[in-house]
Structure 1
Amino acid sequence: MAILNLKKNKVASEKVAKKTVKAVKATKVSVVKPKTNMAVGLGLSHVDASSIIVRPRITEKPAILSEKQGRMVCVFEVTKKANARNVSLAVQVLYKVVPVKVAVLRVPPKKSFVRGHISYGKTAYKAYVYLQAGDKIELA
């Protein structure tokens, strides 16, 4: 004796579920999406990208790194909340180049000693963007 006919209900619901799964599989349609920029597809627009990257830092160190490694290295000042993924997407949107590697670093503030008091400057953040051997970004 089954209590409240639970076994019958389970078997009946499994049969109905199998039939609906077969019906869903038959109605699948493949949709071909046009190729778009990966960064725009992930939701980063041109305005967002320019708010992540503040300005390029043009110094000798990236030039030395580029010669040593055989690929282009660019350095940008970025906002405090920027991470490597956001910087990578911003470079893709602004410069149309896909970076191989991105490293975000904190630049410590400068100390100044005036009239017996120590004061500190602002903490800055910079990002090293490593590109493939053939890619280039024109900075200044």
Structure 2
Amino acid sequence: MAKALHPTQVIVRPLITEKAARLAEENKYAFQVHPDADKTQIKDAVEKVFGVKVVKVNVINLQRKARRTRTGHILHGQRWKKAIVTLAEGHKIELFEGV
């Protein structure tokens, strides 16, 4: 069972990249989400925060990237989760318009 999260805690930030801009044309939007959030929590959060109807949610778990310092130490970034949300026809998120 997933941890209970408030809808504003589920969505960390929208991902505004070139790929996300192409997906927005297909009515798909990308978000960085809380690592403990599941698909149903992500769907509910997007519907409540943005007031749209979600049809489908795809989730990608991204692994840590290793970075080497000048002294040879290896540092790891954080793991994070990306969600690609497909909206119903006629629904849009205004945040992504004009990107």
TM-score higher than 0.5 here?
yes
3-state secondary structure, aligned to 1:109: coil
1:38-70 Cα deviation digits (max 9, x unpaired): xxxxxx9xx810011111111111222344xxx
Does 2:43 match 1:82? Answer: no
Does 2:17 match 1:62? Answer: no
What amino acid does structure 2 have at the position aligned with 1:104? V
Does 2:72 match 1:116? Answer: yes
Superposition RMSD on alpha carbons, in Å?
1.8
Contact 2:53 2:87 in 1 (8 A): yes
The whole-number CA distance in structure 2 between the counterparts of 1:78 and 1:64 is: 20
Does 2:89 match 1:133? Answer: yes
Does 2:8 match 1:53? Answer: no
Matched length: 92
The whole-number CA distance in structure 2 between the counterparts of 1:66 and 1:90 is: 18
Same amino acid, percent of matched pairs: 38
1:91 maps to what in 2?
A: 46
Deviation at 1:99, TM superposition (A): 0.8
What amino acid does structure 1 have at the position aligned with 2:18? E
- Unaligned segments of structure 1, at least 5 residues: 1-43
Q: Higher helix share goes to which structure?
A: 1
What amino acid does structure 1 have at the position aligned with 2:27? M
| Large movers: runs of 4+ above 6 Å | none
Q: Higher strand share goes to which structure?
A: 2
Deviation at 1:125, TM superposition (A): 0.9
Q: TM-score, normalised by structure 2?
A: 0.82
Contact 1:75 1:129 in 2 (8 A): yes
- Unaligned segments of structure 2, at least 5 residues: none
The whole-number CA distance in structure 2 between the counterparts of 1:107 and 1:61 is: 16
